[in-house]
Chain A
Amino acid sequence: MTEVSSDHVPKLPRGVRLRRDEVRNEWLLLAPERVLKPNPIAVAVLERCDGVRSVAQIVDDLATAYAAPAEQIEADVKVMLADLADKRVLDLG
């Protein structure tokens, strides 16, 4: 499993698109030959993977937005980002 640090600045690379599918009424992450269905929390994370914000900033941001403990969010976010990096649908920067 890829190690994700708080300093990483994650970004969806070209060829990976987060989009709202109006036909199926859900969010999708489109990658080569892959369709992933992120849940609402995952969408919130992915929307912040803009190549500007660091993992630490994304975690802070989500902790505020969802009024949840940062430690727990950090652990969940890092697992999710590591999984996506392993699938080569996310660049950690």
Chain B
Amino acid sequence: MNDMTVPNAATATRVPPPAPLGMLAELTHRCPLSCPYCSNPVDLDKRSTELDTETWKRVFSEAAAMGVLHLHLSGGEPTARKDIVELTAHAVKVGLYTNLITSGIGVTREKLQELADAGLDHVQLSIQDALPDNADRIAGLKGAHEKKRVLAAHVLDLGLPLTINAVIHRANIENIEALVNMALEFGARRVEVAHSQYYGWALENRNMLMPTREQVMKAAETVERLREQLQGKLVIDAVVPDYYARRPKPCVGGWGKQSLNVTPQGKVLPCHAAETITHLQFDYVTEKSLSEIWTNGSAFEAYRGTSWMKEPCTSCPRKEIDFGGCRCQALAITGDPANADPACSLSPFHAKITSLALKAAQSGRDKYVYRSFGGVEGRPKVQITRSNSAPSAG
């Protein structure tokens, strides 16, 4: 083992964890878009390694039986799976609330009709910007934006509820009001204004994506104003930009506490970026039941609860509120996933994350590293820093 803190999972009287509320099923990493902030890992699963239909169905049955409520059918682009209708129908049958998280590209009206008939509960559609040309540039596909507009109309026409998801970053942060208005125009009941989170692809593109502090402050004011104006018409949920925050986000509602993520090849993760913590060992649904993995899997046990914490978290009155923030961000910035998330002002690394943000926001870099199979050219597949040392310059 290396010199990172290895949490001690062995506790004498262990109460089994409460059942998870939500499960993200990354059915495939294939996607027609190449967004530079994609939440998929840099090392994408190939089609040949994807779970088969029967295995996914079994996983959905197990999820429902253990108490999962929401199933997010995601990807990549989940409709790239030929069996998407069959999988959705099965999830509905076992009682899961089904949410299709789609790019909207390649989804025909017929396919959507089949999904609606299968009992799909909800559609979440991504849009990249309110300005079509800029949206297409960010998505890396010409004509993508217009296709999304067409899909949104089909969703409405078929009587399905729609959420628009917009990932916010430097190239669209000035257009938040237009994005929200576009969500209204598309007929959404809900919009997610989600600042880019810097893991995986977004970390690679941090210099291109990071907004300035002034932009972030103005964006927060805009969201608050729109929330008030649009109450009862459109729900606005915001994901805050934590590089400029004073308190960390309660990442995934606490590690191994509320949700889990299954990758295309069946690896079960506490969050979508968990694989960046390379000393963790992940279990596969092909080898163990979902319930066994959730309850006893070493990756879930590693940072569940609060016993793994170090100062300033251990004595912090907020430790049950934000759970020390995000483990992956603690690793990426401080070198140790058991450190407090450096987004917290109490972290000795807080000055470092602020300076990283300010530096990235001033970067003149203007070429995205687009998401693609094969990872980032000229880089090792997963880049990590292993050290417990004090913050260094850079």
- Which chain A residues have a beta carbon within 8 Å of chain B's beta carbons? 1-2, 13-17, 19, 21, 23-24, 28, 30, 32-33, 35, 85-88
Inter-chain CA distance A7–B163, complex, in Å, is 29
The answer to whether A87 and B235 have CB atoms under 8 Å apart is yes
Q: By DSSP majority rule, is chain A's interface helix, strand, loop, or mixed?
A: loop
> Of all chain B residues, which has the CB nearest A24?
B67
Given contacts A32-B99, A88-B235, 10 further A-B contacts (CB under 8 A): A14-B121, A14-B160, A14-B161, A23-B65, A30-B97, A33-B70, A35-B69, A86-B232, A88-B232, A88-B233
Query: Contacts A24-B67, A30-B69, A30-B70; is A14 near B231 (CB within 8 Å)?
Result: no
B159 interfacial by beta-carbon distance below 8 Å: yes
Looking at B66, B231, B237, which has the most chain A CB atoms within 10 Å of its CB?
A: B231
Out of A13, A14, A21, A88, name the residue touching B69 (CB < 8 Å): A21
Inter-chain CA distance A28–B190, complex, in Å, is 20
- Which chain B residues have a beta carbon within 8 Å of chain A's beta carbons? 19, 21, 65-67, 69-70, 95, 97, 99, 121-122, 124, 159-161, 163, 189-190, 231-235, 237
Name 13 interchain pairs, CB-CB below 8 A, sorted by A: A13-B161, A14-B160, A14-B161, A15-B160, A16-B161, A17-B121, A21-B69, A23-B67, A24-B19, A32-B122, A32-B163, A33-B237, A88-B190
The answer to whether B67 and A15 have CB atoms under 8 Å apart is no
Out of A15, A21, A23, A87, name the residue touching B121 (CB < 8 Å): A15
Tell me how far the C-beta of B349 lies from the nearest C-beta in chain A, rounded to whole angstroms. Answer: 31
Tell me how far the C-beta of B255 lies from the nearest C-beta in chain A, rounded to whole angstroms. Answer: 19
A28 / chain B contacts, CB cutoff of 8 Å = 69
The answer to whether B69 and A32 have CB atoms under 8 Å apart is no
The answer to whether A23 and B124 have CB atoms under 8 Å apart is no
B95 / chain A contacts, CB cutoff of 8 Å = 19
Tell me how far the C-beta of B97 lies from the nearest C-beta in chain A, rounded to whole angstroms. Answer: 5
| 9 A-B pairs with the lowest CB-CB distances in the bound complex, closest first | A15-B161, A23-B67, A2-B232, A88-B189, A15-B122, A30-B97, A32-B122, A88-B235, A86-B232
Out of B65, B70, B231, name the residue touching A86 (CB < 8 Å): B231
Tell me how far the C-beta of A51 lies from the nearest C-beta in chain B, rounded to whole angstroms. Answer: 13
> Of all chain A residues, which has the CB nearest B124?
A32
Inter-chain CA distance A14–B234, complex, in Å, is 16
Q: By DSSP majority rule, is chain B's interface helix, strand, loop, or mixed?
A: loop
Tell me how far the C-beta of B191 lies from the nearest C-beta in chain A, rounded to whole angstroms. Answer: 11
The answer to whether A35 and B21 have CB atoms under 8 Å apart is yes
B65 / chain A contacts, CB cutoff of 8 Å = 23
B161 / chain A contacts, CB cutoff of 8 Å = 13-16, 32
Tell me how far the C-beta of B81 lies from the nearest C-beta in chain A, rounded to whole angstroms. Answer: 22
> Of all chain A residues, which has the CB nearest B95?
A19
The answer to whether A88 and B234 have CB atoms under 8 Å apart is yes
Inter-chain CA distance A87–B235, complex, in Å, is 6
Inter-chain CA distance A88–B190, complex, in Å, is 8
Tell me how far the C-beta of B293 lies from the nearest C-beta in chain A, rounded to whole angstroms. Answer: 17
A30 / chain B contacts, CB cutoff of 8 Å = 69-70, 97, 121
The answer to whether A23 and B66 have CB atoms under 8 Å apart is yes
Tell me how far the C-beta of B199 lies from the nearest C-beta in chain A, rounded to whole angstroms. Answer: 20
Inter-chain CA distance A86–B227, complex, in Å, is 11
B70 / chain A contacts, CB cutoff of 8 Å = 30, 33, 35
Tell me how far the C-beta of B190 lies from the nearest C-beta in chain A, rounded to whole angstroms. Answer: 6
Query: Contacts A14-B121, A30-B69, A33-B237; is A23 near B163 (CB within 8 Å)?
Result: no
Looking at B19, B160, B189, B237, which has the most chain A CB atoms within 10 Å of its CB?
A: B189
Inter-chain CA distance A78–B379, complex, in Å, is 59
Out of A2, A17, A23, A24, name the residue touching B97 (CB < 8 Å): A17
B159 / chain A contacts, CB cutoff of 8 Å = 14
Inter-chain CA distance A17–B114, complex, in Å, is 20
Inter-chain CA distance A25–B95, complex, in Å, is 15
Inter-chain CA distance A86–B66, complex, in Å, is 32
A86 / chain B contacts, CB cutoff of 8 Å = 231-232
Inter-chain CA distance A24–B18, complex, in Å, is 9
Inter-chain CA distance A30–B124, complex, in Å, is 15
Inter-chain CA distance A35–B66, complex, in Å, is 16
A19 / chain B contacts, CB cutoff of 8 Å = 95
Looking at A17, A33, A86, which has the most chain B CB atoms within 10 Å of its CB?
A: A33
> Of all chain B residues, which has the CB nearest A86?
B232
B121 / chain A contacts, CB cutoff of 8 Å = 14-15, 17, 30, 32
Tell me how far the C-beta of A35 lies from the nearest C-beta in chain B, rounded to whole angstroms. Answer: 6
